[in-house]
Amino acid sequence: MQKSFLLGVSVGESFAEYALVSDSKPVAQKRVYLSRENLKQSLQQFVTENADNKPQSVFVSLRLPKKLLDYNLSGAVAHITTDGFEHWLDVCEKSETLTNKDLLFSVHERVLADGKVDVPLKLEDLEAIAAKLQMMDCKKVCLHFLHSSTNPVHLKQAQEFLSNKGLEVFVPEKTDNPHEVTRWNKNALNATISGVFSERKEEILKALEGVVAEKDIHFLTSSGKLFSEDKNQHIGSLFSASTALGLELGAKDGADILYLGLESFHLISANTWSSSWQSAWGTVEVPHLQSKELGIQPTLGIALNSFGRFDFASHQEGWEPGPMFLGRGQKPSLLDLWAENAKLAKLQGLEDRFSAQGIQRFKNSLFALSKISQTRDSDLGHLTKEMQSLSLQRLAMEAYLQRQTKKLIVAGPLASVFANAFKKDPHTTVHAEDFSESQAVALCGFKALQETL
C-alpha cells in the first residue's frame, strides 16, 4: 500500500519550520532562519529534496510579527462607525491605537438591540466619506455598526457601496459574541495585517505551485480549524501553532505543554480554552488554547540590576539582529550564555550560523559589565555558570507556578538545552525528540480536514 504524506508549514517571526509527515511520524524536517534564508526558496528547496514523498495536503500556520499590528508599520485603515461611536478607540482601554485619528468617520444610522432599524442608513453619507478616502489614498476601510451582528442590513449596504468604489472593506465576523468592542478590535487588526498576511501567503502558494493543488493547501486558525480565503481569521493565526501543539501533545495525557522554541518560551494549557486575547490594542475576540509567555525568554537581555548585580533585563533583544553568537548582535542575551553548548550548536537553523568572533564579543561584553558591577568574582566562567543557573531556576519556577495541571510536557528545539531545569520534577517529561510546530500543524490540520469530509 502506497504511503500518504502531509506537509506541515509553521512560519514564525524569525524562523520557519517544514515537516513531511507520514503515519503521524516525521519523514523529513527543516528549520530555517528567515533573516538569512528566503521563505519561498527554502520551502521550494525542501519540497524538491523530498520529491519522492509528494504531499497530498499541506497545512500552514502563518504567525506574523506582532510589531506589524502597528498601523505605522503596516498602513493605516479607515474606520466607519455608527454616529456617536467614532471615538470608541479612545474610550476602550488600550495602550496602543488601532489607526490614525484622521481616518475615523461616522454615519447617521442605528439598529436597535432587537434588530429593528431605528435610523435608516443614507448612502449619501458614505459617498462623502468615500471621496475623502480617495483623496487620502486610503484603500482599506473597517465597518463597525452597532448591533450589526443582530441585523446586518446596514452593514451589507455599506459594504456593497464601498466595494463598488474600489475599497477593500472589512466587516466583523458574525459570531455569538455579544461584546461589540472585541469583535471590532479583531476586525481592525485583521485589516491592518491583511496586506502583509496576503504577501506571506502568496510566497507559500508560489513555492508549492506545481507540487500541490491550491485547494489542498489549508491554513490553520487559532481554534485548530481550517480556512483559505476568510480575512476574519488572519489575526487568529498568531495562536494557531500553539493550539496545534496543545491538541497534539498535551490533550491526550491531560498535561500542560512548556514549549521552548527559539523565538519564545510559552506555557500551553491543553484543556483550557480562552475566548479572547488581551492585547495592547484592547481585548480581541480570538478563541484559542490558553497560552502564556513566560517572563524568561530565549533572547532576554542581560544587564545589571539596581543593586549592581548581574540579572536579566525586562526587554527581549529578538532575532533581528539576534544573539551575539551569530556575529551581528551587539547586546548580550540569555542564549549567548549557551553559545558554546554542543546541543545548541547542532540545532537546525543555527548549526552553521555560529561566529567565533561573535562569541568572543559576548565574552568581552560580559567582562566589561563585571568591571562596573558589584560582583566581586569577575571570572567569566563563573559568571556564565551563575547566569545559566539563574535562568534554569527561573524557567523551572515559572513553569511550576503557572501550569494548570500536575503533568507537564517540555518540548521544542531548546528542550534538550534546558532539560536540567526539570530533572528533579517527577511530574515533568522532557520530550526526547524535537517535536516541531510544523509537525503539530500537519497532524492537527489533517484531523480538522477529516472532520469536514
pLDDT tens digits, one per residue of 202-218: 999 999 999 999 999 99
* Mean pLDDT, rounded, for 141-158: 94
Tell me the pLDDT band of 41, cut-offs 50, 70 and 90.
very high
Of 81, 82, 74, 61, which Cα lies nearest the Cα of 191?
74
pLDDT at 44 over 70: yes
pLDDT at 1 over 50: no
* Mean pLDDT, rounded, for 19-38: 93
How far from each other are the two terminal CA atoms of the chain, in whole angstroms?
A: 22
Q: Which residues touch 212 (CB under 8 Å, ≥6 apart)?
A: 7, 54, 55, 56, 57, 58
pLDDT tens digits, one per residue of 393-432: 999 999 999 999 999 999 999 999 999 999 889 999 998 6
HSE toward the beta carbon, residue 271, CA cutoff 13 A: 13
Whether the CB-CB separation of 9 and 16 falls below 8 Å is answered with yes
The region of weakest confidence among 29-33, 360-364, 449-453 is 449-453
Whether the CB-CB separation of 328 and 295 falls below 8 Å is answered with no
* Mean pLDDT, rounded, for 155-184: 90
- Could you give the percent of the chain with pLDDT greater than 70? 98
* Mean pLDDT, rounded, for 267-284: 91
Point out which residues pair with 219 in neighbouring strands.
Answer: 60, 227
- Residue type for position 172: P
Q: Which residue has the higher pLDDT, 18 or 174?
A: 18
Whether the CB-CB separation of 298 and 264 falls below 8 Å is answered with yes
C-alpha cell belonging to residue 282: 484592547
What pLDDT shows up at residue 2?
60
What pLDDT shows up at residue 245?
95
Alpha helix segments (H runs only) across 287-355: 342-345
| Angle, vertex CA 108, rays to CA 106 and CA 110, nearest 5 | 110
What pLDDT shows up at residue 216?
95
Tell me the pLDDT band of 227, cut-offs 50, 70 and 90.
confident
Tell me the pLDDT band of 92, cut-offs 50, 70 and 90.
low
* Mean pLDDT, rounded, for 308-321: 92
Tell me the pLDDT band of 66, cut-offs 50, 70 and 90.
confident
Average pLDDT, the chain: 91
Q: Kindly list the strands in the beta sheet with 282-293, ordered across the sheet, starting from the edge strand earlier in the chain.
A: 282-293, 265-279, 256-260, 408-411, 428-430
